[in-house]
C-alpha cells in the first residue's frame, strides 16, 4: 500500500507521460498518485487542463489526482497561483519549498505554510520553527522527500515538524521511473530522516490516505 503525493511527467521536467507513470506506480503497489507538475503563471492552464484528463486513468489503474507544484514563483504570488490552479481543476497543490539545492526565494516556505489552500510544503530545506508552526496551524503537510539533493535536509525537516506537531508525508518527487518508491523504500527514507517507526507508519500509511479521502 502506498500513496505518493508528489510526482512529475513530461508536462514539466519528468520523463514519462501520465499513463506510464501511473501504470508503473500501480505495479509498485501504489493505491494513488498525485501528478504535480511544475507551474508558474505562464504554463498553469496548460498543465492543469492536461493533467485533469489523466484522471480517466483511474477507471483502469489506480486513483490519479491532478495537481501542481508551484515552483520558483515569487512568494507574493503563490496564493494567487494556488487559487487559479483550483479554479482550473487542480485537486492537489504542492509548493516547491526552500531546498538548499536550488536558489528558491526566501519567504517561499512561510508563504506556503501560512496558506490553508496549500496541501504540501515540499522539501523545505532548513525550515524554521516559525515556518513549521505555521504549517501545523494551517494543516499544510510537510514533506520528507526521497529526491536526491533535496533530501539532504530531511533530518532537520523531520525535527522541526516533530517539534511543532506538523503532519508529515514521504513522497518520491519522481521525475523518472526509477525515482518511484515502494513502501519499503519509503520506510527507509522515513527512518533515515530520523522518524520513529510509529511516525514513519503514520507518514506512509495514515496521513496521505486521510489527506486524499475526500478527493
Q: How far apart are CA 30 and CA 22, in angstroms?
A: 9
Confidence of residue 64 (pLDDT cuts 50, 70, 90): very high
Q: What 3-state DSSP class applies to 141? A: strand
Per the confidence metrics, is the pTM higher than 0.85?
yes
**Alpha-carbon separation of residue 24 from 28, 35, 52, 192 (angstroms):** 6, 13, 19, 25
Q: CATH code for 3-211?
A: 3.20.20.140
Q: For the segment 144-186, what is each residue's pLDDT rounded down to a tens digit?
A: 999 999 999 999 999 999 999 999 999 999 999 999 999 999 9
SS3 5: coil
Residue 20 has pLDDT above 90, yes or no: yes
What is residue 99's predicted lDDT score, i.e. its pLDDT? 98
- Contact 192/11 with Cβ under 8 angstroms? no
pLDDT value at residue 1: 79
Query: Which among 110, 109, 81 has a CA at the least distance from the CA of 97?
Result: 109
pLDDT-derived band at 22 (thresholds 50, 70, 90) equals: very high
How large a percentage of the chain has pLDDT more than 70?
100
Looking from the CA of 125 toward its CB, the CA atoms found within 13 Å total: 17
On the question of pLDDT at 134 being above 90, the answer is yes
In this prediction, residue 175 carries a pLDDT of 98
Here the cell at position 167 is 503532519
Average pLDDT of the chain is 98
Q: What is the mean pLDDT of residues 10-35?
A: 98
Q: How far is residue 89's CA from residue 60's CA, in Å, rounded to a whole number? A: 21
Amino acid at each position: 500500500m502506498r500513496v505518493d503525493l508528489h510526482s512529475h511527467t513530461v508536462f514539466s521536467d519528468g520523463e514519462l507521460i501520465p499513463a506510464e507513470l501511473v501504470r508503473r506506480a500501480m505495479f509498485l503497489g501504489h493505491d494513488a498518485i498525485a501528478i504535480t507538475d511544475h507551474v508558474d503563471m505562464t504554463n498553469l492552464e496548460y498543465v492543469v487542463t492536461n493533467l485533469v484528463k489523466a484522471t480517466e486513468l483511474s477507471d483502469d489503474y489506480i486513483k490519479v489526482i491532478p495537481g501542481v507544484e508551484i515552483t520558483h514563483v515569487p512568494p507574493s504570488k503563490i496564493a494567487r497561483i494556488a487559487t487559479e490552479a483550483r479554479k482550473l481543476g487542480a485537486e492537489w497543490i504542492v509548493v516547491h519549498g526552500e531546498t538548499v539545492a536550488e536558489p528558491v526565494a526566501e519567504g517561499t516556505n512561510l508563504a506556503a505554510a501560512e496558506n490553508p489552500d496549500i496541501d504540501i510544503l515540499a522539501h523545505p530545506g532548513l525550515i524554521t520553527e516559525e515556518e513549521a508552526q505555521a504549517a501545523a496551524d494551517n494543516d499544510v503537510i510537510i514533506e520528507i522527500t526521497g529526491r536526491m539533493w533535496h533530501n539532504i535536509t530531511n533530518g532537520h525537516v523531520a525535527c522541526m515538524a516533530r517539534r511543532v506537531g506538523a503532519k508529515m508525508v514521504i513522497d518520491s518527487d519522481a521525475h523518472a521511473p526509477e525515482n518511484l518508491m515502494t513502501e519499503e523504500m519509503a520506510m527507509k527514507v522515513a527512518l533515515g530522516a530520523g522518524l520513529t517507526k510509529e511516525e514513519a507508519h503514520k507518514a506512509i500509511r495514515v496521513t496521505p490516505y486521510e489527506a486524499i479521502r475526500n478527493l
